[in-house]
Amino acid sequence: MDGQRFSLLHCLLIHGFLSALLVTIGVSQSDKKSYVIYMGNPPKVGTATASLHNSMLQDVLGSESATKSVLCSYKRSFNGFVAELTEEEARKMAGTNGVVSVFPNEKRILHTTRSWDFMGFSQQVQRATSESDVIIGVLDTGIWPESQSFNDEGLSPPPDKWKGICQDANNITCNNKIIGARYYKSDGLFGSNDIISPRDSEGHGTHTASTAAGRLVNRANLFGLGAGTARGGVPSARIAVYKICWSDGCSDADILAAFDDAIADGVDIISLSVGSATPKDYFRDSIAIGAFHAMRNGILTVTSAGNQGPRRATITNFSPWTLSVAASTIDRKFFTGVKLGNNVVYEGVSINTFDLKNETYPMIYGGDAPNPIGNYTSSSSRNCLEGSLDPNLVKGKIVLCDRFVSGRGPLIAGAVGALLRDNSPKDVAFSFVLPASHLDLVDGSKIFVYINSTSNATATIFKSNEVNDTRAPYVASFSSRGPNPVTPEILKPDLSAPGVDIVAAWSLASPVSQNRGDNRWVPFNIISGTSMACPHVSAAAAYIKSFHPTWSPSAIKSSLITTASPMSSGMNSDAEFAYGSGHLNPIKAINPGLIYDSSEVDYINFLCGQGYDTRFLGQVTRDNATCSAGTNGTVLSDLNYPSFAVFTSSSTTVRRVFNRTVTNVGSPMATYRARVSFPTRTARVRVNPNVLSFTSVGQKLSFQVIIEGTMDAFMVSGSLVWDDGAHKVRSPIVVFASIS
């Protein structure tokens, strides 16, 4: 236990020693950078892991003192370490026996009151008595434990399976709700606002943890906006905190260290609202690697799809053993009105809690106020970038800007407010550091004309108001899209969940807009992102786990995918590449009728089809994992996944056979009939057999889906539904001809 408690301190001390050593021996720090050396499952017998890592590094570097280059070792749930290496040393290490992959230790980026009710998941839903035995591991920016969302009133002590710790008890207190808390910073470099403990200085981790498993808090709101009862999806579930993200991002080394501990600590679900900027191969991706070992230990990892939408193939968390979540809207939007001196009112989008009390202020166009200090021109000041505006011209005025910015530029120049005009989507509202409204180009141009039509242009910005959005749910423009950039045959994202304008708990160390100069400190905040969608699904997975504690990660994933509510391609032009199987429906997911289950062996076969060989996979698993001689790309289609995707490359002719097996988890005696919807005349989908008759719970039956014909569009999609009258087990079918 002591070794676990001081693992971070050990990493920091090693890093400090290494820095001094490099200066002493004259090695330039710029020549070396941090690399992750991943070695698969821990050795069953043999050399102690730390000794092995030091020995390997000594062999590569050829120096006794160079063994101090090891920054951290992973040894609880998988094998590997982090070391400072040159590019040449990294190449040598990659060729060392037992090494699966070597990749740079890069930084990842961080990718609710009404949302649960919007999905029909009320406070009165059926609850399992074992909900309090379910532990959600949240890998994020930490937690603000004093939040009302994390009180432990009425909760018993943690379940016996829990093996975790509460690190740095002087700065954070765990209870029967937050049962564990750890933090990781392998490079030992902290920002001025970082809190060196599991305590959250950003707000993001507090928000996601409370969305998943927060207790009920009445009258939660952000200065009156979004008022209601804040709650997580599983209020009785336990939270284990793993702080991996800091002011400079979330490093691969720390993500893997958190997975290593979370798996061994005994969590049931891992929730991870973090991702990379670009897609990576499965075994050069810290999240895919950690999630693979979590899957081997019966733990489902739920990930955010990413915030690089709406461009295609921008999803960065897409491994088949994880559940990838897109962000969709709920039936609430926030609008912010702007009233000009001519009494014309325009409506923009923002979350504006500031109240100017209807007082009007002079207006100025940012392009007319370049800052002579720094030699800024109107081409910079029109965008209201920091330092670009002349305080002598802007102070006390409302500034019209030609770009969507944080508002810090106008703020530090002394502006009272800002109007931001551009052509970006207006489907999500953001908080700004000063009164602001985000307008489209049409209204923005009219305001520009007004400013230039009078020498006394004035305006006021109203506090935001809530409006019912009857079109919801639809996928947010920022949500990353599929198809899967590495394995197009695996449909990603898997499903969508609420991720726009979500109210949840917040850190009192982080202001509302998360910008310097913002002095609003609140217990609840409203933010958006696939980061907010992810914990909704993590909670739903925990909800299923409470009713079905023996279900595998893939069984839980299948139940969520096949019970999702269908969404409209008319509202989402990217269709399944935007929303996967549809919108999260937690109530139906606990009784899906049939599940598409997969084991570790199935994923190994999939990886064989992906091109990995027996030697490589043997190193990953440290067992007898093998690829058969006849393995080829068709195995990709045969992974027992609850969706069907065909990538035809440049060919217009399609023929693909999918082999699937479903397990009966509904009524013992049940007959399911296949219903196919596939709206094209040039291709045909057949199911053989098209009737499945079960005689017992747990019985497995197999079938084939045959797709053949020609493509008459870039993308054609439909669905297969197995229907027994009580359950509708729905799987999306997508055929497409290009990735981007």
Which of the residues are catalytic? 140, 204, 531
Instruction: List, edge to edge, every strand of the sheet that includes 70-74.
Output: 70-74, 80-85, 33-38, 101-104
Contact indicator for 524, 230 with CB cutoff of 8 Å? yes
Nearest alpha carbon to residue 111 among 316, 280, 251: 316
The helix (H) or strand (E) run that includes residue 118 is helix 115-118
Per the CB < 8 A criterion, the answer to whether 222 and 262 are in contact is: no
- Which helix (H) or strand (E) segment holds residue 81: the answer is strand 80-85
What b/e sequence results for 469-492 when a residue is b if at least 16 CB atoms lie within 10 Å of its CB, and e otherwise?
A: beebbbbbbbbbbbbbbbbbbbbb
- Dihedrals phi, psi of 8, to nearest 5 degrees: -65, -45
Cβ atoms of 573 and 475 within 8 Å: the answer is no
Contact 140, 205 (CB under 8 A): yes
Q: What are phi and psi of 72, to 5 degrees?
A: -155, 150
- Going by their DSSP bridges, the two strands 332-340 and 670-677 should be labelled as unpaired
What the block records as the tokens of 210 is: 């409370």
Side chain identity at 106, as an amino acid letter?
E
List beta partners, residue 687: 705
Contact 208, 233 (CB under 8 A): no
What does the alpha-carbon distance between residue 493 and residue 482 come to, in Å, rounded to a whole number?
Answer: 6
CB 326 within 8 Å of CB 579: yes
| Cβ neighbours around 120 below 10 Å, total | 12
Question: Residue 598 is encoded by which pair of tokens?
Answer: 């997969």
Name every residue whose Cβ is closer than 8 Å to that of residue 288 and which is 6 or more positions away in sequence.
280, 282, 317, 319, 321, 322
In the chain, what are the helix, strand and coil shares in percent, each to the nearest 5? 25, 25, 45
Distance between CA atoms of residues 151 and 138, nearest Å: 17
Residue 349 · residue 315 · CB < 8 Å: no
C-alpha dist (Å) from residue 334 to 353, 468, 477, 501, 574: 11, 9, 16, 8, 25
Spatial CA neighbour of 478 closest among 508, 500, 505: 500
Question: Which residue in 486, 493, 483 sits closest to 646, CA to CA?
Answer: 483
Rounded to 10 deg, the angle between the 87-94 and 49-61 helix axes is: 120
* CA torsion, ordered 399, 402, 407, 408, to nearest 10 deg: -90
CB–CB of 526/490 below 8 Å?
Answer: no
Query: What is the C-alpha separation between 538 and 141, in angstroms, rounded?
Result: 17
194 DSSP assignment = -
> To 10 degrees, the CA torsion angle through 323, 327, 329, 333?
140
